[in-house]
Structure 1
Amino acid sequence: MKTFDRYLLREWFQIIGVVVAALLGLLLVQVMYTDLAPLLTAGATFMDVTVYLAVAVPSFLALLMPLTLLVSLLYVFGQLHRNHEFTAMRASGVSLARISVPVWCVGIVCCGLTLWLNSTIVPWSVEQSRQIRERVEFRHEAASRSADEIGARTSVAFDNRSAGRLWFMDRYSLFTHKAYGISLSFLDAQRRETRRIVASQAWRDADGKGWTFRNGRDYRFDLDSGEIVANSPFRTMTFRGVTDDPSLMLLIDRKPIDLSFWELRRLIGYLRSVNSTKAVPYEVRYFGLLADTLAPLIVIGLSVPFAVSGVRVNPAVGISKSIGLFALYYLLAQLGGTLAAKGVITPEWGAWLPSLGMSGLAFWFFLRLR
């Protein structure tokens, strides 16, 4: 490693530490501003809040990566530019590409780190922080509501086309893990109803390989006329082999931004299996998280050319242009999602085109730099 490479990395890593600390502080304030009041209203203890903040902050790490690179690079390269160190090196025959080699190497490492964070740490953080919020809310609701009303999600519907099962629930309690006012229809290959189970409550068995229904009726239907041919009451009935997961049923109406990477992948798999148009926004979000892998390289490609503009140009001008292009990236990401939702382009292109487009633009700026 050349002497300048070590010097550049040392100066850069010093400012990165300051930027990370500052951005983490801002993110912590933002989390406290949005989530602290609801938690305290629900009766959260000091330990609940502490654990929640510790678990929630890692969900912002992937977002923190490009912001940290942007701010730190603009500062360090701006300082080197102002001190004419870049000018001296380029006058001695060293190209900007060679000068920035260590930066690009770090950027590639950050791309891999971003992919790892988005596929492991961030999903865990999103799901665990949600569970902590729900646990606090359930404890608060337990003081004034019956068990079946705590954490209830109403009007749940789920169509398992591959297995020929159609579910309807008046409500499902995340606290008791039971469904209330439930109807399960069994359908043949032509989507004709052959049997319907209606019960006051039902729950998934502990081994996940069946469902148990309580206090209901079992209806049988004639396939040709659709009329009821049998109707028998029951106190308890268990169906082994009915493995539908209520956690998947409850994902369908959630906003894409509220789901983790794992939940998105799982929900997309289901929605694709039933050819649902609802899959598009979830696919855009899912592929967008994958496209975020390129964000560190995009940031470097946009920051370096403007931060090391000619000596006759105020560094603040280059910095402002770089920040403007960085904002343009997010505008293009929103545009890609809108076009994908309208069917103009596929969800994959809607998620990847903004990143690829900004990568090309950054490469062009880098090549034309004098």
Structure 2
Amino acid sequence: MNTFDRHLLREWLQILGLVLLATGGLLVVQVLFSDLRDLNQVGAGPTELARYVAVRLPSFFSVVLPLSLLVSLLFVLGKLHRANELTALRAAGVGFARMTAPVWLVGLACCGLSWWLNTAVVPWSVEESRALREELEFRHQTARALPADRVGAVFSVAFDHPEARRVWFFNRYSKARERGYGVSVSELDPDRRERRRLVAAEAWRDPVAGGWVFRDGRELVFAPDTGELMAATPFRERRELGYDEDPELMLLIDRRASRLSFHELGQLVDHLAREGSPKLPAYAVRYYGLLADVVGPLIVIAIAIPFAVSGVRVNPAVGVSKSIGLFFLYYVLTTAATTLATRGAVAPVVAAWLPNAGMTAIAGWLFLRLR
């Protein structure tokens, strides 16, 4: 590593650190603005609020990293370009590839960091912050003396399990008690005709013995050909060991893709693919998009270098303002790709990579102009 490499890294990493700190401060404000009122309403104290913010912040890291890389690189390279330092190196026969080699090495390290963030840190943050919020809500609802089956209740939960040919419906499911109320489970024949139905006042999954336990219900048997009720048998308690549905997966249905962790998206995409659901593209694009984000730091660097050092020598802050336009363009590409996938024009995995492909093409065009 020569003198210029150390100089470049020192200048860049200082600005990168400042941008990360500034962005982190803005994120704290954003979290407080969006969640403070709701947390106060459920009785969160200062300690619980601080814990929630600390747990929630890492969920933004995967977005903050490429943004900070772009802003800091545009600023530092623009500053060096304005001071004629890059021009002097080029006059000495040093190419842009060698000149920016330390930046590319840091970019590779950031790709590994992005993978770790998207697959470990961010999923933990999303799930843990949700659990903290639900814990506060359960405690608040209990203090209001709500009935036990209404604490943490999610209403009208439906779930189709095509491989097992079972369709579930809960009038409500209490996440606090981990029980469903007003339960109906229909078993279908290969032609999707109902042949058996269990209706019960409540049901829960038995994590020890396996299967589901139904209480205070009735077993209904139908003739699949005619739909006629053939038998109705009441029961006090019934255990179905063959039922392996996961209530956590049931509750993921219809949640916004942006509010699910990487692991939850994987579970849901796998289920929706087996079901052949029209909801699959939106979740699949988000899932594959998180994987595609791993190469984001390299794409950001590929755009920032020619963007910052080409053209007239202006104030470095001008380069920072250009980043707003670049991120707006990326947002437009992402929205267009998601729309194409939702309409079936392209596969979700293709749609997930389209924004990166578009930005890579822009980077290539900028490098060609630079030459």
Q: Give TM-score, length-normalised by structure 1.
A: 0.96
Note closer, same or farther for the CA distance 1:224–1:342 as it changes in structure 2 (3 Å cut): closer
Structure 1 residues 110-125: aligned runs within 5 Å? 110-125=110-125
Q: Is the 8 A contact 2:75 2:316 kept in 1?
A: no
Structure 1 residues 311-330: aligned runs within 5 Å? 311=312, 315=316, 318-330=319-331
- Deviation per residue, 1:263-322 (Å, 9 max, x gap): 111001001101111111001111111121222122112211121124555655555445
**Which SS does the other structure have where 1:304 is aligned?**
helix
Aligned mates of 1:16, 1:200 — CA distance in 2 = 58
Q: CA deviation at 1:103?
A: 0.6
- Deviation per residue, 1:58-112 (Å, 9 max, x gap): 1011111111101211221122112211111111111112111111111121112
Number of the residue aligned with 1:66: 66
Note closer, same or farther for the CA distance 1:248–1:312 as it changes in structure 2 (3 Å cut): closer
Note closer, same or farther for the CA distance 1:89–1:311 as it changes in structure 2 (3 Å cut): farther
Structure 1 residues 199-210: aligned runs within 5 Å? 199-207=200-208, 209-210=210-211
Number of the residue aligned with 1:43: 43
Q: CA deviation at 1:326?
A: 3.2
Number of the residue aligned with 1:169: 170
Structure 1 residues 31-110: aligned runs within 5 Å? 31-110=31-110
Q: CA deviation at 1:192?
A: 2.3
Number of the residue aligned with 1:271: 272
Note closer, same or farther for the CA distance 1:191–1:88 as it changes in structure 2 (3 Å cut): same
**Which SS does the other structure have where 1:142 is aligned?**
helix
Number of the residue aligned with 2:294: 293
Q: CA deviation at 1:54?
A: 1.1
**Which SS does the other structure have where 2:370 is aligned?**
coil
Aligned mates of 1:282, 1:208 — CA distance in 2 = 33
- Deviation per residue, 1:33-62 (Å, 9 max, x gap): 111111011101222112111110110111
Number of the residue aligned with 1:158: 159
Q: What letter matches 1:222 in structure 2? A: A
Number of the residue aligned with 1:179: 180
Q: CA deviation at 1:223?
A: 3.1
**Which SS does the other structure have where 2:168 is aligned?**
strand
Worse-superposed segment, 186-195 or 327-336: 186-195
- Identity fraction in percent: 55
Residue 365 (1) aligns with residue 351 (2): no
Aligned mates of 1:311, 1:350 — CA distance in 2 = 36
Q: What letter matches 1:63 in structure 2? A: V
Residue 26 (1) aligns with residue 21 (2): no
Uncovered stretches (5+) of structure 2, i.e. residues with no partner: none
Higher RCO, 1 or 2 (CA under 8 Å, sep at least 6)?
2
Q: Is the 8 A contact 1:303 1:319 kept in 2?
A: no
Uncovered stretches (5+) of structure 1, i.e. residues with no partner: none
Note closer, same or farther for the CA distance 1:22–1:262 as it changes in structure 2 (3 Å cut): same
- Deviation per residue, 1:217-271 (Å, 9 max, x gap): 1112223332222211111111112110111111111111111111111001001
Equivalent pairs, count: 370
Note closer, same or farther for the CA distance 1:139–1:314 as it changes in structure 2 (3 Å cut): closer
Worse-superposed segment, 205-214 or 90-99: 205-214
Q: What letter matches 2:222 in structure 1? A: F
Q: Is the 8 A contact 1:307 1:319 kept in 2?
A: no
Number of the residue aligned with 2:248: 247
Aligned mates of 1:289, 1:127 — CA distance in 2 = 16
**Which SS does the other structure have where 2:224 is aligned?**
coil
**Which SS does the other structure have where 1:368 is aligned?**
helix
Q: Give TM-score, length-normalised by structure 2.
A: 0.96
Q: Is the 8 A contact 2:78 2:315 kept in 1?
A: no
Aligned mates of 1:8, 1:190 — CA distance in 2 = 67
Note closer, same or farther for the CA distance 1:126–1:183 as it changes in structure 2 (3 Å cut): same
Worse-superposed segment, 5-14 or 120-129: 5-14
Aligned mates of 1:317, 1:204 — CA distance in 2 = 59
Number of the residue aligned with 1:306: 307
Q: What letter matches 1:32 in structure 2? A: L
Note closer, same or farther for the CA distance 1:75–1:147 as it changes in structure 2 (3 Å cut): same
**Which SS does the other structure have where 2:272 is aligned?**
helix
Q: Is the 8 A contact 2:76 2:316 kept in 1?
A: no
Q: What letter matches 1:59 in structure 2? A: S
Q: What letter matches 1:325 in structure 2? A: L
Residue 262 (1) aligns with residue 263 (2): yes
- Deviation per residue, 1:123-160 (Å, 9 max, x gap): 11001100111110111111231110111111111111
CA RMSD of aligned residues (A): 1.6
Q: Is the 8 A contact 2:200 2:218 kept in 1?
A: yes
Q: What letter matches 1:99 in structure 2? A: M
Q: Is the 8 A contact 1:299 1:326 kept in 2?
A: no
Q: What letter matches 2:241 in structure 1? A: R
